Amino acid sequence: MAQPRGRPSPAPDPHGSPQAEPGHARPRTRTALGLLATASALVVGGATLAVTGTGTGAAPASADSAAEVPVGSGSYTTTRPAGASGPSDLNGAPVSPKVTDDHTGPAPTNEWWSSLIFQRYPDNPHGENLFAHPLSFNPHSGGLDMGYPDSHRLVGDDLKYEYTAVTDLTLGAAGLDSPDTRTADSGDWTVTAHWEGGGAQLRVTIGQGLPFAYAETGGAAAEVTFQGSPDIWHEDGSTIGATVNGRHYALFSPSGSPWTVSGDTLTADTGDEGYYSAAVLPSPEDLDAFAPYAHSHVTGSLVEYDYDESAATLTSTYQLQTEAREGEETGTLTALYPHQWAHVSGDLTDLAYVSPRGEMRVSEGTSFTTELTTQGIMPSLPTVDSADHDRMAALIDEVLAGEELFPEPGDTYWDGKAMGRLAQLIPVADSIGHTGARDELLSLVQGRLEDWLTAGGTRQFHYDAEWGTILGYPDSFGAATELNDHDFHYGYFVSAAAVVARYDRDWADEDAWGGMIRLLIQDVAGTDPDGDMFPRLRSFSPYAGHGWASGHAGFAAGNNQESSSEGMHFAAATAHFGALTGDEELRDLGVYLHTTQASTIARYWQNAGGDTFPEDYPEDVVGMVWGDGGDYRIWWDGGHEEHYGINYLPITAGSLYLGHDPEHAGAMYESLVAKLGGEPEIWRDIHWAHRALSDGEDALRMFEEQWDTYEPEAGSSKPHTYQWVSTLAEVGTVDASVTADTAHYAVFDNGAERAYTAFNPGASPLTVTFSDGTTLQVEPGALGSTVGEGGGGDPGNGDGPGPGPGPGEGNVGDGTLHLTDTRLSTGPSGTEGTITVPGADGQNHDGAPPSDSVVLELEDLTGSFTGGSTSFALPVDSGNGIGNAVQVRVSYDFDGDGSHDREEIYHYFATDDLPGWENYTQAQGLSSSDGSFADLDGGSVRVEIWSALGGQASQVRVGGQEGATLGIPFTD
């Protein structure tokens, strides 16, 4: 497994360069939910985003309580592990949230403005550049610099485009000289900053999409200083219109408190309850459109959403709270990002701005609403019959036989990826009837999760009450010290827990292990505006439509988001965990996060539509979105495959959004191939999986050519990649034109027909209706599909895991048959012996059993087909014979009419020339097969063994504990 890169060393002026010190480093491979009612139960209450929701969980322990707080079967600690660090500055010194005395609630982090609250650099107590779009800001002792970056430049060998922060004017108050800048209040995309010193006080509210900045002077005179000589083209007492550096602004003071101009500085005696506002104008002619809203001050922001499952729509309302400081007007103007105005309900004005995300268009009023189609979020894909199930099973066994399934000592990221890698194989094993591997994988993932979710061990979670966050130890990539990447790391925990919940609902109960999983979800995306344990939506920016990775945002370029796909992974996992635990509000939160981000990722990371990147930017993708633009580079010196692939991994069924536009997905793959001058060599499996979203047959071709020689990406595996590419090669590309009345569905089109699949997380049968009129019956806890087998799960009624039917009429037991010297048997023989397989006498009998083949049969069998496949284990020995090979055919007669309904011939097994037993199994793979499985009803099973090559007779061991067995995919 490739190792993660080292973190870059900070530059001499770390907050002067966006590349100096990472906001998050990526690896090289890569509601009030209730209070703690008892020592072992977390009481749950449902809620919706913005009203109530998944906001707080177990209450933090009081100062005199135990250091370990129980949450169901799990626990967290309120005492940091010995030697571990929490939120720190660049020198490693602990830092506290930089807030005012009247600030309430846990400290938000991972925002576009987080450098105000998290002081990363000891020499800067104010904060870094703040990119609100269309405006940029920079705080300092004298107030807040304000500017409108309306042009870009290319830097770093043209690998980055940036709309660099500019200063056109400074918002201040007379005499202000503040030792720091603090956070007084915040909303979902707005923040109020506070300065105090030199006998003056200033508070300014700013926000994403706001062309206004709203200031309160606390008794001092308003003071605005232009950076350069302004061209004042409108002067009417309390309203000033001016142009500086080619950009146009309006200043508004209270009526009766006119502006006084002295050189580059304007002042207004605003009185004890002083206030003023400043706005950037698209042009001087737009002053009249802004003036009515000058004194309607924004005080907060909140997003509310409604997911209509039956109609497959997500409606999001972006609401600003305002206060009329003068007059009665409470409306305002808001600039919408492209992903918003492309889906907005209602009319927009003709006003527009430039931004790093493309053109922003202006809405009038205190709210606007968008409507998005919700594509399904699947927990896994079905396995198609055309795939080699035996090879798939053998590859799963190879994973389980690996020497290091989990890294040591393990941390929140690398352990998370390891759990995710194994968890993704559980439904694959289930879908092919490899139940032993399924259960072993479940045990491994469940055990590692429980290890993490229990305080006091080498791996554990800690609640930091000062910052209102859950920190995992050991951590990595600044997850604890910089509050980085919590959605990236914890998404793997939630995803693994959702898979366990699929097969064991009791495990995910609140009074079992579900309570701790919910705490991780709340840390990342708690939704209670009044929660006292976690901030609201820490790792998701509702207005930007995506997350921000850095907890402190301490960069000249603003905050950043690199692996958008890992943010999507968290969203999908949240939807699955909510659905499987019967919590629709939690499921809907996952749908909201997933659907909203899907509307931004192709646009802002891959320039879908061609309107985001500047025309002179030479790249087709950016590895990282910054507040000031986009950068092809990532947090380590990776190859082109990693620059593209960091926004694809991990590949799960929740990754189908990458293929909602197959043509665009194909263009992205071709772009990478053009850069490389050939097919990918690094992270090949990630790119094969992505390629399959536009051309499954090509992806399968590449896998088949290289499957036994390539090294999987650290979070991926050969059997999962094989299942993915083989399924998409058969079913085709995602057909996003067809929706369904469930949250968990997918539709594919291969040019000849559509394939439909859906998952039923509930305890009752579900009829899924697709928008083209197709219906699909899905059993409780199962994944249904018109193509292939999806596997089952625990439907929540105590049945437990397993894809097959329950006990019934039959005589095949668990489907294990034993070979004797004369026949097949349902029970083992206590007498050890051997069967002699005649040699081939120098003939080639590959695929054609001769007349002297060993034939063993068992008749009058009744059993239900489990959906699995044939397996066998034959201990064979050819002594010192050279060039010998043994071969097997298995035949099924399902109804006992004397004709074989299914025949399977397996590739021969070449024996060595040394005495001793060798194991011939189905892992050799099918050479040919004919016919489909059906239930056994008085039927028969036959196995034939012969020498395909060589002149030496061979022996097959039978009887005893180590004798030959045949596994048939049937059960009583």
Q: CA-CA distance, 171 to 194, in Å (whole number)? A: 12
Structure tokens at 339: 């992903």
Alpha-carbon dihedral of residues 733, 738, 742, 746, nearest 10 degrees? -10
Q: Which residues contact 402 (CB under 8 A, 6 or more apart)?
A: none
Q: Which residues contact 641 (CB under 8 A, 6 or more apart)?
A: 672, 676, 680, 681, 682, 683, 684, 686, 687
Catalytic residue among 562, 619, 628, 631: 562
Q: Could you confirm whether 485 is annotated as catalytic? A: yes
Exposed, middle or buried: residue 678 (CB in 10 Å: 0-12, 13-18, 19+)? exposed
Catalytic residue among 411, 485, 619, 642: 485
**Inter-residue contact 756 to 392 (CB < 8 Å):** no
Q: Which helix (H) or strand (E) holds 692?
A: none
Report residue 690: phi and psi, to 5°: -70, -40
Q: Could you confirm whether 404 is annotated as catalytic? A: no
Is-cis flag, bond preceding 134, omega within 30? yes
Amino acid found at 581 = T
Q: Which helix (H) or strand (E) holds 60?
A: none
Amino acid found at 791 = G
Partners of residue 182 on adjacent β-strands: 194
Exposed, middle or buried: residue 344 (CB in 10 Å: 0-12, 13-18, 19+)? middle
**Nearest Cα to Cα of residue 964 among 889, 876, 878, 858:** 876
**Nearest Cα to Cα of residue 480 among 492, 462, 465:** 462
Amino acid found at 210 = L
In order of 419, 522, 641, 706, the CA distances from 680 in angstroms are: 26, 38, 6, 12
Exposed, middle or buried: residue 515 (CB in 10 Å: 0-12, 13-18, 19+)? buried
Amino acid found at 604 = Y
**Inter-residue contact 874 to 945 (CB < 8 Å):** yes
Alpha-carbon dihedral of residues 571, 572, 575, 579, nearest 10 degrees? -160
Q: What is the CA radius of gyration of the chain?
A: 32
Report residue 661: phi and psi, to 5°: -120, 90
Q: CA-CA distance, 515 to 796, in Å (whole number)? A: 17
Write out the DSSP string of 514-570.
IHHHHHHHHHHH---TT-SSS-TTTT-BTTTTB----SS--STT--EE--HHHHHHH
**Nearest Cα to Cα of residue 301 among 289, 316, 319, 279:** 319
**Inter-residue contact 451 to 459 (CB < 8 Å):** yes
**Nearest Cα to Cα of residue 434 among 869, 815, 799:** 869
Q: Could you confirm whether 708 is annotated as catalytic? A: no
Q: CA-CA distance, 2 to 681, in Å (whole number)? A: 14
Q: What is the 3-state secondary structure (H, E, C) of 627-671?
A: CCEEECCCCCCCCHHHHHHCCCCCCCHHHHHHHCCHHHHHHHHHH
Active site residues: 485, 562, 566
